[in-house]
Amino acid sequence: MRTKYILTILVVFFIVVSVQHSGAQSLTALEIVTKMQDREDGDNSISDMEMILIDKNKKTRVRKIRTFTKDKGEDSQRIMFFLSPSDVKGTGFLTYDFDDYGKDDDQWLYLPALKKVKRISASDKSSSFMGSDFNYSDMTSKNLPDYNFTLMKELEIDGVKAWQIQSIPKTTEIMDETGYEKGVIFIRQDNFVAIRGIYWVYKSNRRKYMEVKNLQIIDGVWTATEIHMTTKEGRESIHKTIIKHHDVRYNQELNENLFTTRQLEKGL
Amino acid sequence: MDKIRHKLDAGFARMGEFIYKYRWLTIIVVLLSLIPPILQLPHVTLDTSTESFLHENDPAIVDYNEFRDQFGRDELMILAFNPPEVFDFSFLDKLREIHNRLETEVPHIEEVTSLINARVTRGKKDELIVEDLLEKWPKNEIELQAIKNFVLDNPTYRNLLISENGKFTTIVIRTNNYSAVGAESDDDLALENFEEDFADETSTDLSTAPREFLTDAENSEAVAAVQEIIAGYKSADFPIYFSGSNVVADYIKRAMQNDMARFIRLTLIAIALFLLILFRRIVAVVWPLLIVILSLLATVGLMTLTGTPLKLPTTILPSFLLAVGIGYCVHILSLFFRRINAGEDKRSAIIFSLEHAGLPIVLTSLTTAGGLLSFASSGLAPISELGIFAPYGVMIALFLSLVLLPALLAITPFRPVKIPKRTSEKKYTGRLDKFIISFGSFATRRHWLVLSISALLIIVALVGIAQIDFAHKPLEWLPKNEATRIATQKIDTELRGSISMELVLDKREENGWYSYEDLQKLNEVGQFAESIEKPEVFFGRAFSLADILKEINKALHENSDEFHAIPQGRELIAQEFLLFENSGSDDLEDFTDSQFSKARMMLKSPFRDAKAYKPLFSSLKQKLTEEFGNDIDIKLTGIMVLLVTTLDEVMTSMVESYFYAFVIITFLMMLMIGSIRMGALSMIPNLMPILLTLGFMGWFGLTLDVFTLLIGSIALGLAVDDTIHFMHNFRRYYNESGDVSIAVQKTLEIAGRAMLFTTLILTAGFFIFMFASMGNLFNFGLLTGFTISMALLADFLLAPALMQIFYGTKKS
């Protein structure tokens, strides 16, 4: 009789504790990821991107690219011009990224030496972005319903609380398209910024490790001004890309004509 | 000299006494000492890859590894299909199914390429299209026909994915460059390593620890997985040809495993029968077998311990060691049983056999080891490994025969005499002895005749030797009707090559390959290479950085054929490359480094005798010098270069090893016989059989390769054993009688039978290689067996004649 009584108290105690506990993390994995994706990122942005490519022989190549982005309804647009190296200065890329996932992105390029604008039809987002360790799919937002998200655990990274979330594409088509068969992302609880990520490359034994090395608030927007992406095979680093953003500005007065092929031809 | 010999004999007698006294201790100590190497046996590895023939520090291998680190693996597995029509839905459906299954089911692979996912870069008005060829599956015959026309018109795919006549198409599989060993992709580990992974990220250092290339075992797993998949599709009216140098290596490995097991089995059976006939006691079969098996296990164990994999030429090691080791046991046992049968006790029989057989066994084992040791410095890795581990094995066999065998005999109970058998045995051997002696007396009587015939044979042999040729043609080791060999030949003919040579042109300058002039020259070299035609060999396809650029340039100019050329102007080149890099293809990293300082050219070629490549090489080299002068650093590598380097090493190895073996053994002979003159004379019957064999090879067009080059030094090391026995006894009896013919007769009476028996067992041991599934081993076994038999004849005929000429006349 007495033991039963104690047992009941214990059970009630645990229920209360666990309810309180789960209350603290009432967000589901999908909610967290949605919040991450919907985070304020300004209507438009300008930045000078410095891309440092490091190969396995530690040889580096540095590219400087001026980037303009703009939201247009649910879609987004981006135009980029190479500032250096000098051989490719003026080479430009214009991209319309459509929110509708059934629709391929539109992309145009301009080679100043050829003096021609070409539309590029490449539906493959799993390919490398500008020869870096980033894929095109890393540069655009995800279609969340395509994935299963699981909250793995909470942890602290550099003294900040974070969620560790696994994302697995629901179909092999998605894996093929994005180039990844699985991802584990680490999202800061205070600002919903993904500060780390591990990505398992589809049909490969490679993994990619992403880490935000520098995060700051610019014009009210949390901005990763230095991101590292390392491709590894086992413990071995194969290739690495460091992206640094300089002179980032948000919500500027941007000419509507900036995101056109004519501008691409005109250059900066 | 005789004094020393007596002292040594006495020493062996004391050793026999010691072993008898402490027989159990001896057995336990010896067996315990064998445990460490034998425990290694489960870890034994095999390596039959093309690169396994060369040392790791060979410049060709260093270049090759550097190439692989930069550009990945050059060896490709090729599946060729010959359907009634390539561009037909029913075939393409099947191709797609096979392609997808290969991609998902085959381990250790990096890339599968076929018409299904061939890179298409094409222009359409103001559009640049980069896609997989069959990404959008054709809906009808018209679309299919359009694809067919595109593929056949596009030079990019020629001889890589489709044959020139459009009848053959391929699936090309590139395996991983590096081994998965130690490169776990385990999920938990990935997370566990998270901190660690980022710990080293604080610096921009990337790990440069050397990584192991894809192992032979992993290669085999991949080959086996492909075989399994295609087995489900292959039929008489739907042939699938599967080849590639790594597929050939895999076949050789499996054949080698089977062969080795078969050789060991056959050798053991032959030995057991031989011992049973010779001694008619079970124990005389069991103990020697135990001795030779232990020697073999300890030797292979030591190889494993030092991380040396078994390679193709090391296949001969087991049966060689078994045959040689048994010879030592026979010498001891025959003396031992002679005493036991005469009614003596075991103790004195052991002492007696060691006293009389100890020294000769040590001496003959030294010459055998010396002959083998001559391979140790070879530039061919497996040959030099054989030159290190085979002498080691011979020494183990020697040690076990002198120490463990007597101890084992000491603990075995024997019935003393076997009278009924003895008479018949005696009668039989008596006749045999007489027969052997008749050779000697004939030779001493008709010494000039014997000598003249020998001289004539040597002259004929020398003429043959002048025609002898070197070769390295691994493909021909495979049986003629073997599927991999047929497939390789088919692919070599229809798709103009199954292996490749790689050119790496290093300008040592960032963005060096943005140069129009240099790309133009590279393009020229490629076109020139494709135009070279030499007997049997050619470059079926050249593909380089220049071809990628031409392709993209054409696509940027509305697919106009006139723009299938290097674009003019550094900026344009740089921008087109940037575009390509950004277009979703990672093919660029296969043909240049990230700095654009190196350019790679792949040159496809058929899998032939390495010798045939040489004129191809010199033409290409000449063209390269013409175009580039000495301005840039050019490296030639790839499987084809490894084959040629191996061939070169075969030649130098052979010359060096024959020279060393000759010097070592001549020196040992002089030392053992105790006379420079007689030692030098003894080399004539030793060398003659080798000259005969080489002459035979020359006359019958058999080539010297990684196997047949072994014959000379191995046969020399073994042939001298008989000569030692002959000279050793001859000297004694000649000193006694002063008469050559009497000395020869007595020598053959005492030693002739043992010489015959050991020769028989050795010849049988080598003839066993004629059961090999690989042609090269067949020749090796036949020729070595022949050489050793000839060596015995030389000792029975030529040696007595020489003794008569050099010692007989003097006396009279």
The distance of B118 to chain A (nearest Cα, Å) reads: 14
3-state secondary structure of B649: helix
Q: What are phi and psi of B543, to 5 degrees?
A: -140, 125
Chain A neighbours among B 2-41 (CB < 8 Å)? none
Interchain CB distance below 8 Å, A122 and B178:
no
Domain boundaries, chain A: 29-266
Per residue in A47-85, pLDDT (tens digit) is 999 999 998 888 899 999 999 999 888 888 999 999 989
Domain boundary residue, one of B637, B654, B689: B637
Mean pLDDT score, A117-132: 77
Based on the domain organization, do B35 and B86 belong to the same domain?
no
Interchain CB distance below 8 Å, B180 and A128:
no
Interchain CB distance below 8 Å, B582 and A88:
no
- Residue B413 in this model has a pLDDT that exceeds 80: yes
Chain A neighbours among B 196-235 (CB < 8 Å)? 197-198, 200-201, 204-209, 211
Answer yes or no: is B421 within a domain.
yes
Interchain CB distance below 8 Å, A57 and B593:
yes
Question: Residues B243, B204: contact at Cβ < 8 Å?
Answer: no
Based on the domain organization, do B357 and B414 belong to the same domain?
yes
Instruction: Quote the mean pLDDT of chain B.
Output: 88
The DSSP call for residue B168 is -
Answer yes or no: is B611 within a domain.
yes
Mean pLDDT score, B561-576: 92
Q: What is the pLDDT of residue B536?
A: 85
- Residue A123 in this model has a pLDDT that exceeds 60: no
Mean pLDDT score, B438-450: 91
Q: Which residues of A touch B570 (CB under 8 A)?
A: 87
- Residue B72 in this model has a pLDDT that exceeds 70: yes
Domain boundary residue, one of B637, B667, B684: B637
Answer yes or no: is B455 within a domain.
yes
Determine the topology of domain A29-266 in CATH.
Answer: outer membrane lipoprotein receptor (LolB), chain A (2.50.20)
Based on the domain organization, do B234 and B340 belong to the same domain?
no
- Residue A148 in this model has a pLDDT that exceeds 90: yes
The distance of A7 to chain B (nearest Cα, Å) reads: 37
pLDDT bin (cut points 50, 70, 90) of residue B280 is confident
Which chain A residue has the Cα nearest residue B510?
A: A61
Interchain CB distance below 8 Å, B180 and A234:
yes
The DSSP call for residue B703 is P
Mean pLDDT score, B393-403: 96
Q: What is the pLDDT of residue B812?
A: 40
Mean pLDDT score, B367-376: 90
Question: Residues B370, B337: contact at Cβ < 8 Å?
Answer: no
Q: What is the pLDDT of residue A4?
A: 59
Which residue of A60, A65, A88 is the best one to mutate when testing the B interface, meaning the one whose CB has the most B CBs within 10 A?
A88
Inter-chain contacts counted by CB atoms under 8 A, chains A and B: 159
Which residue of A95, A235, A241, A243 is the best one to mutate when testing the B interface, meaning the one whose CB has the most B CBs within 10 A?
A235
pLDDT bin (cut points 50, 70, 90) of residue A104 is confident
Cβ of B128 under 8 Å from any chain A Cβ?
yes
Interchain CB distance below 8 Å, B127 and A242:
no
Interchain CB distance below 8 Å, B183 and A113:
no
The distance of B131 to chain A (nearest Cα, Å) reads: 6
Answer yes or no: is B758 within a domain.
yes
Per residue in B743-790, pLDDT (tens digit) is 999 888 878 877 888 888 889 888 988 988 888 888 899 999 999 999
Interchain CB distance below 8 Å, A112 and B103:
no
Q: What is the pLDDT of residue B281?
A: 87
Based on the domain organization, do B285 and B410 belong to the same domain?
yes
Answer yes or no: is B754 within a domain.
yes
Percentage of chain B modeled with pLDDT above 90: 50
At residue B428, what is the residue type? Y
Mean pLDDT score, B478-500: 92
The distance of B662 to chain A (nearest Cα, Å) reads: 48
Per residue in B77-130, pLDDT (tens digit) is 999 999 999 999 999 999 999 999 999 899 999 889 999 999 888 888 888 888
- Predicted TM-score (pTM) of this structure: 0.85
Cβ of B581 under 8 Å from any chain A Cβ?
yes
DSSP code string of B39-63: HTGGG--B---GGGGB-TTSHHHHH
Q: How far apart are CA A53 and CA A60, in angstroms?
A: 5
Per residue in B663-684, pLDDT (tens digit) is 998 998 888 877 888 888 889 9
Chain B neighbours among A 107-136 (CB < 8 Å)? 109, 111-114, 116-124, 126-131
Based on the domain organization, do B424 and B298 belong to the same domain?
yes
Q: What is the ipTM of this complex?
A: 0.85
CATH label of the domain that carries residue B353: 1.20.1640.10
Cβ contacts of B510 within 8 Å, gap of 6 or more: B595, B596, B597
Q: Name the residue among B321, B333, B300, B405 with its Cα closest to residue B368.
A: B321
Answer yes or no: is B484 within a domain.
no
Going B723 to B725 to B728 to B731, the CA torsion angle's sign is: negative
DSSP code string of chain A: -HHHHHHHHHHHHHHHHHHHHHHHT---HHHHHHHHHTS---SEEEEEEEEEEE-TT--EEEEEEEEEEEEETTEEEEEEEEEESGGGTT-EEEEEE-SSTTSPPEEEEEETTTTEEEEEE---TTSBSTTSS-BHHHHS---GGGEEEEEEEEEEETTEEEEEEEEEESSHHHHHHHSEEEEEEEEETTT--EEEEEEEETTSSEEEEEEEEEEEEETTEEEEEEEEEEEEETTEEEEEEEEEEEEEEES----GGGGSHHHHHH--
Q: Name the residue among B529, B573, B569 with its Cα closest to residue B550.
A: B573
Instruction: List the beta bridge partners of residue A168.
Output: A148
pLDDT bin (cut points 50, 70, 90) of residue B644 is very high
Based on the domain organization, do B282 and B406 belong to the same domain?
yes
Per residue in B164-193, pLDDT (tens digit) is 999 999 999 999 888 877 655 555 556 655
The distance of B211 to chain A (nearest Cα, Å) reads: 9
Compute CA distances B433 → B745, B753, B803, whole Å: 10, 6, 20
Based on the domain organization, do B442 and B574 belong to the same domain?
no
Answer yes or no: is B199 within a domain.
no
Burial class for B139, CB neighbours closer than 10 Å (0-12, 13-18, 19+):
exposed
Per residue in A194-251, pLDDT (tens digit) is 999 999 988 887 889 999 999 999 999 999 999 999 998 877 788 899 999 999 999 9
pLDDT bin (cut points 50, 70, 90) of residue B526 is very high
Based on the domain organization, do B307 and B411 belong to the same domain?
yes
Answer yes or no: is B661 within a domain.
yes
Cβ of A155 under 8 Å from any chain B Cβ?
no
Structural domain including B612 reads 494-637
Q: What is the pLDDT of residue B425?
A: 44
Based on the domain organization, do B152 and B283 belong to the same domain?
no
Q: What is the pLDDT of residue A143?
A: 85
Based on the domain organization, do B523 and B655 belong to the same domain?
no
Domain boundary residue, one of B613, B637, B661: B637
Number of domains into which chain B is organized: 3
